[in-house]
Amino acid sequence: MIWDLVIDPFVAFGFMRRALVGCLAIALGGTPVGVFLVLRRMSLTGDAIAHAILPGAAVGYLVAGLSVGAMTVGGLVAGLTVGLLAGFVTRATVLREDASLAGFYLTSLALGVLLVSMRGGSVDLMHVLLGNVLALDDQAMVLLAGIATVTLVALAVAYRPLVVDSVDPEYLRTVSRTGARVHYLLLTLAVINLVAGFHALGTLMAVGIMIVPATAARFWHRDLAGILVMAVAIAVAASLTGLLLSFHFGLPSGPAIILCAGGAFVLSLAVGPHGSLLARRVHRRHLRA
Amino acid sequence: MLDDMMPAPPPRAGMGKSARHGTWGALEGGALEGGALEGGMQRCGPAPSSPVGPHPAAGAATLYLRATASLREPSRFPRLGGGRKVCRATRRFLVGVPTKPMARGAALIAVLIAVIAAGPRAAAETDPVEVVATFSLIGDMAAAIGGERVSVATIVGPNGDPHVYQPTPDDARRLAAADLVLANGLGLEGWIARLIAAARSDAPVVTVSDGIAPLTFHRTRAHAAIARYRRCQTGNRLDVACARGPLDYEDTIGTDPHAWHDLANARIYVANIAAALTEADPAGAETYAASLAGYQRRLAALEDTIRTVIRRLPDARRVVITTHDAFGYFERAYGLRFEALQSAIADAEPSAADLAYLIRRIRRMRVPAIFVETTTDRRLIERVARETGTRIGGELYSDALSPPDGPAPTFLDMIGHNIRTIEAALNAGR
Amino acid sequence: MRGDTAMAGPIEIENLTIGYDRHPAIHHVSLMIGRGSLTAVVGPNGAGKSTLLKGLVGRLRPMEGRIRFRGVGDDGIAYLPQQADIDRQFPLSVIDFVAMGLWRRIGLFGAVTRADRARVADALAAVGLSGFERRGIATLSGGQVQRMLFARTLLQDAGLILLDEPLTAIDTKTAADLLDLIRRWHGEQRTVVTVLHDLDQVRGHFPETVLLAREVIAHGATADVLTARNLLRARQMCEAFDDRAEVCDRSSDRPAA
């Protein structure tokens, strides 16, 4: 029974196996980046970058026609430009992350819409650019795996300064010059995970897998390492459950996966051990000291 | 790094220790004379010397007052209420103005008005009928019927997807300038109603699919097929005849808009177009009738070709796998079975169940080829092909024509290309 | 022993003006802070004490003048700001936070040895936070956060230590302990500059004082600086910025001591 429900779909169908591996890759690479974004109050970066990549995709389309590769590269350049510019403005001026990112991504989006309409856009560029977790070809798999590896290595290398920059950036500035670099690194990792995610999995899945498990994991652990591990675990579990729901009940796969993650989020915020609604209302009997 | 340039913040709340001896507050009541300040200490309050310069606004005010002084002199303006004075001023105005240029100007304006009024009537005799078609297929049909008497503009061009199109201001302008608007109807162009309202065009909108027998569809073929499979199964036995029967459309969610793939419907389309053109431009009625007849003949010939090709296909190979369910009418009319991944609305995302169903079907049926479409994302269908080891048989044009240099620049070419591609791929490897 | 380097000399602040939007927070400050000295910086609110410290750390760029370090702070500058902009909600434990003080020693990749761990434990004990190792920083009170920051500063083992009102939210007993700590640093030949409000503490523990009220009123031995006359002059400083002030054209001149 368990075999039929859970294991057999993956054994019988290659596209299910690929989908699972693809989800695993983005859970390993994107979700930890998402944890840092959430902790640094940059959770809406994902949506902003999703809109910001339009002019890059438009330029790619103008240059090379409906080539998904050219448009993805263009989108990557645009996303990196917007992300890094926003990061620079946050550090160098009075604006904070949310305002600087909003300023740049909206400008970028407007530029993209302009470029698209100049060419008589009866082609919906974003539709062409966005992928589907069930349609992962070899190229997309290699891209996802590569980016997951790069992300994990980068996070391991920059872990210390990233944590310090997130808690006490002033201090990092006095002892080292890596504060700004680490901020840009985080933005770069976010952008490449997002763009690869859009290309392979579509906007909803890419942003959702990055951010939603991170928000859920907050309620289970109080230390950073625990949150990271829990977030990845939730992402993998949501991917598995979502794919199975899509398989057995005919639900579209991307939304099913993110709904499972969302369900985990709601459950966590209701009854998680730390800081949830339940934890704040119901108190266990206190100790003597 | 120039953030936080503020001076030191005010003292914290915990600083209420002013009662303590050593803090600044103790100086309040100290027995210290306020003696003269030593040099080097800056004074508070306004500085003794003159300010840097006049306030910029003050300068502007002075200039304004000076410039308008003459206007405010009492002698320039007639005093209101002083009757005789007003009359004199008004008379001075009327008398002073020369009349000759005024007369010339009035005459010029009259001539211009006459020319403009006369213009459109004269132009209407020779101008082509401005037709706006919603997408390339209808545009091509209108051009074929109307010939030189019409000027056709298309909103969704070649290789564009009419299901999910986003209109632009250019489209609204074209609609406003149109004499006739042709739309497919049947829910294909979800965006058209708002566009017409926004363009405030008073051109008649003709639904070219009026009069066809519509087809409805399930959420996905997979669901319909699974429902039929369950219906036809008793215990472990499957009633094969039942399973080969028609899909039950009880669970319909809409009308299939791709009526043009059945050429009998295409004949109705062009007849409707000809009627609409005749109504908009009665003088061209003969031209339109002649074009219509010729087009109908070509459609009939094409239909013969299709039926011949399909008859020649062996029974086991009479199935075409495509991306979205665009060929329901073709299937109903000509008996060639179509299976697709996505439903006819093409925007709904397929689920893993749909993919699994299609893969199982293809493996069981052992079809020779799978077809991609020009308007939809081909990655999903390519994945299905890869997984079942089936090759891609070619490209089908379902919702749009190709660009002029492509294999399907007109509607007739498109139908021809489709059937030839299907024939070649399904007959291969026999 | 510190102070043995050939370049050893005082910190020279020459005609330093740091301000905001053309208004000076401190102007024409010229000072020499001796190497290994223990200096308190006092003054009324808005006197620019924090600004002076930020200028020393390099966080604010001067409008005029400069600072020459002459080798002081070559083995690091430790700066404890007045209102630390810490994200208290970040899931970090006290021990990890305090261990940030080891940065100069271990950098990006250095391992935390057992000796380092012992040093961290010592630092926590010195500020009275033993037993707080595993607590999250979100659960600490204001005073405890201040002590945690102090422990980190301790760990930094720097040659120049700048403290901006370190004792504000702390009870008397701990304040006394921390003042002992500061004295210990002084004994270790580190240069310590501290901003304080409590003149009793200054008189009791700090041999040198700078009385600042936008510019230097007096600088030198504490008893000489904290006279009634000097304090009155400082009190008469105008706190608000004057938008109608004239452009400053004074060249550098040292104020009367």
pLDDT for the residue A4: 80
Q: Is B345 on the interface with A (CB under 8 A)?
A: no
pLDDT for the residue B221: 59
Which domains are assigned to chain A? 2-281 (1.10.3470.10)
User: What is the C-alpha separation between B66 and C100, in angstroms, rounded?
Assistant: 69
Phi, psi (deg, nearest 5) at residue C65: 80, 180
Q: Is residue C3 part of a domain?
A: no
pLDDT for the residue C9: 74
CB B196 within 8 A of CB B181: yes
Chains that contact B by 3+ CB pairs under 8 Å?
Answer: A, C
pLDDT for the residue B50: 42
Read off the pLDDT band of A159 (50, 70, 90). very high
Q: Is residue C107 part of a domain?
A: yes
Q: What is the mean pLDDT of residues A147-159?
A: 95
Phi, psi (deg, nearest 5) at residue A83: -60, -45
Q: Is C59 on the interface with A (CB under 8 A)?
A: yes
C97 and C50 within one domain = no
Closest CA to C80 of C101, C109, C102: C101
C149 and C163 within one domain = no
C120 and C30 within one domain = no
Chains that contact C by 3+ CB pairs under 8 Å?
Answer: A, B
- Determine what percent of chain B is predicted with pLDDT higher than 90: 17
CB C106 within 8 A of CB C116: yes
Residues of C in contact with A170 (CB under 8 A): 59, 81, 84-85
Interface mutation target, options B1, B2, B4, chain C, most CBs of C under 10 Å: B4
CB C132 within 8 A of CB C124: yes
C61: domain CATH number is: 3.40.50.300
Strands (E) located in C77-159: 77-80
Searching chain C, which residue's CA lies closest to the CA of residue A168? C86
Kindly determine whether residue C197 and residue B42, on different chains, have CB atoms separated by under 8 Å: no
Q: What is the largest CA-CA distance in chain A?
A: 74
Residues of A in contact with B348 (CB under 8 A): 252
Q: Is A139 on the interface with B (CB under 8 A)?
A: no
Q: How far is C94 from chain A (nearest CA, A)?
A: 11
Q: How far is C14 from chain B (nearest CA, A)?
A: 17
Centre a 10 Å sphere on the Cβ of residue B327 and count the other Cβ atoms it contains: 28
C233 and C164 within one domain = yes
C-alpha distance from residue A90 to each of A42, A76, B408 (Å):
12, 21, 53
Residue of A14 and B233 predicted with greater confidence = A14
Kindly determine whether residue C47 and residue B52, on different chains, have CB atoms separated by under 8 Å: no
User: What is the C-alpha separation between B355 and B342, in angstroms, rounded?
Assistant: 9
CB C43 within 8 A of CB C49: yes
C94 and C164 within one domain = no
Q: Is C248 on the interface with A (CB under 8 A)?
A: no
Q: Among residues C136, C157, C178, which one ends one of the domains?
A: C157
pLDDT for the residue B193: 81
Residues of C in contact with B32 (CB under 8 A): 228, 232
pLDDT for the residue B141: 92
User: What is the C-alpha separation between B218 and B225, in angstroms, rounded?
Assistant: 10
Q: What is the mean pLDDT of residues A178-199?
A: 88
Chains that contact A by 3+ CB pairs under 8 Å?
Answer: B, C
Q: Which of the residue ranges A187-191, A246-250, B31-35, C232-236 would you say has the lowest mean pLDDT?
A: B31-35
Q: Which of the residue ranges B29-38, B143-152, B249-258 would you say has the lowest mean pLDDT?
A: B29-38
pLDDT for the residue B21: 40
Between positions 161 and 180 of C, the ones with CB within 8 A of A are none
**Long-range contacts of range C222-225, CB-CB < 8 Å, 24 or more positions apart?**
C222/C40, C224/C257
Q: Is B348 on the interface with A (CB under 8 A)?
A: yes
C188 and C67 within one domain = yes
Q: Is residue C240 part of a domain?
A: yes
Q: Which of the residue ranges A97-106, A152-161, B176-185, C237-246 would you say has the lowest mean pLDDT?
A: C237-246
Number of domains in chain C: 2
User: What is the C-alpha separation between B323 and B344, in angstroms, rounded?
Assistant: 10
Read off the pLDDT band of A124 (50, 70, 90). low
Kindly determine whether residue B47 and residue C49, on different chains, have CB atoms separated by under 8 Å: no
Q: Among residues C137, C157, C177, which one ends one of the domains?
A: C157
Between positions 192 and 221 of A, the ones with CB within 8 A of B are none
Residues of C in contact with A224 (CB under 8 A): 90-92
Q: How far is B36 from chain A (nearest CA, A)?
A: 42
- Which residue in B164, B168, B383 is closest to A134 by CB distance? B383
Residues of A in contact with B380 (CB under 8 A): 132, 134-135
Q: How far is A93 from chain C (nearest CA, A)?
A: 13
Q: Is A167 on the interface with C (CB under 8 A)?
A: yes
User: pLDDT tens digit string along B121-178?
Assistant: 544 556 888 999 998 999 999 999 988 989 999 988 888 888 777 777 778 888 888 9
Kindly determine whether residue C81 and residue A166, on different chains, have CB atoms separated by under 8 Å: no
Q: How far is A121 from chain B (nearest CA, A)?
A: 8
Q: How far is B81 from chain A (nearest CA, A)?
A: 59
Kindly determine whether residue B380 and residue A136, on different chains, have CB atoms separated by under 8 Å: no
Chains A, B: CB pairs < 8 Å: 94
Q: Is residue C120 part of a domain?
A: yes
Per the document, the length of chain B is 430
Kindly determine whether residue A171 and residue C100, on different chains, have CB atoms separated by under 8 Å: yes
Kindly determine whether residue A176 and residue C103, on different chains, have CB atoms separated by under 8 Å: yes
Residues of B in contact with C231 (CB under 8 A): 24, 27
Q: Is C97 on the interface with A (CB under 8 A)?
A: yes
Residues of C in contact with A168 (CB under 8 A): 84-87, 97, 100
C166 and C224 within one domain = yes
Searching chain A, which residue's CA lies closest to the CA of residue B158? A122
Q: Is residue C116 part of a domain?
A: yes
Task: Please tell me whether residue B74 adopts helix, strand or coil conformation.
Answer: helix
Report, as ranges of residue numbers, the positions in chain C whose pLDDT lies below 70.
1-8, 249-257
pLDDT for the residue C41: 94
Q: Is A230 on the interface with C (CB under 8 A)?
A: no
Q: How far is A104 from chain C (nearest CA, A)?
A: 25
pLDDT for the residue B46: 43
pLDDT for the residue A236: 97
C246 and C173 within one domain = yes
| Domain enclosing residue C36, as ranges | 9-76+158-257
Crossing angle of helices A203-217 and A14-39, in 10° steps, is: 60
Strand-strand pairing, C11-20 and C23-33: antiparallel
The one-letter code for the residue type at A39 is L
User: pLDDT tens digit string along A204-243?
Assistant: 888 999 999 999 999 999 899 999 999 999 999 999 999 9
Q: How far is C144 from chain A (nearest CA, A)?
A: 16
C50 and C163 within one domain = yes
Phi, psi (deg, nearest 5) at residue A122: -100, 5
Kindly determine whether residue A170 and residue C81, on different chains, have CB atoms separated by under 8 Å: yes
Q: Among residues C131, C157, C183, which one ends one of the domains?
A: C157
C247 and C167 within one domain = yes
Q: In this structure, what token pair is assigned to residue B243?
A: 């399973």
Kindly determine whether residue B22 and residue C199, on different chains, have CB atoms separated by under 8 Å: yes
DSSP B168-229: -HHHHHHHHT-SEEEE--TTS-TTHHHHHHHHT--S-EEETTTT---EEE-S-HHHHHHHHH
Q: Is A124 on the interface with B (CB under 8 A)?
A: yes
pLDDT for the residue B34: 34
Kindly determine whether residue A250 and residue B222, on different chains, have CB atoms separated by under 8 Å: yes
C64 and C166 within one domain = yes
Kindly determine whether residue B40 and residue C197, on different chains, have CB atoms separated by under 8 Å: no
Judge whether residue B326 has pLDDT over 80.
Answer: yes
C148 and C37 within one domain = no
Residues of A in contact with C108 (CB under 8 A): 157-158, 160-161, 178
The one-letter code for the residue type at A60 is G
pLDDT for the residue B366: 79
ipTM of model: 0.83
pLDDT for the residue C255: 42
- Determine what percent of chain A is predicted with pLDDT higher than 70: 96
**Residue B409 gets which letter from DSSP?**
S
Q: Is residue C81 part of a domain?
A: no
Centre a 10 Å sphere on the Cβ of residue A216 and count the other Cβ atoms it contains: 25
Which domains are assigned to chain B? 215-427 (3.40.50.1980)
Q: Is residue C196 part of a domain?
A: yes
Q: What is the mean pLDDT of residues B195-219?
A: 81
Residue of A67 and B125 predicted with greater confidence = A67
Closest CA to A186 of A174, A170, A169: A169
Q: What is the mean pLDDT of residues B204-231?
A: 74
pLDDT for the residue A39: 94
Q: Is residue C165 part of a domain?
A: yes
User: What is the C-alpha separation between C72 and C58, in angstroms, rounded?
Assistant: 14
Q: Is A260 on the interface with B (CB under 8 A)?
A: no
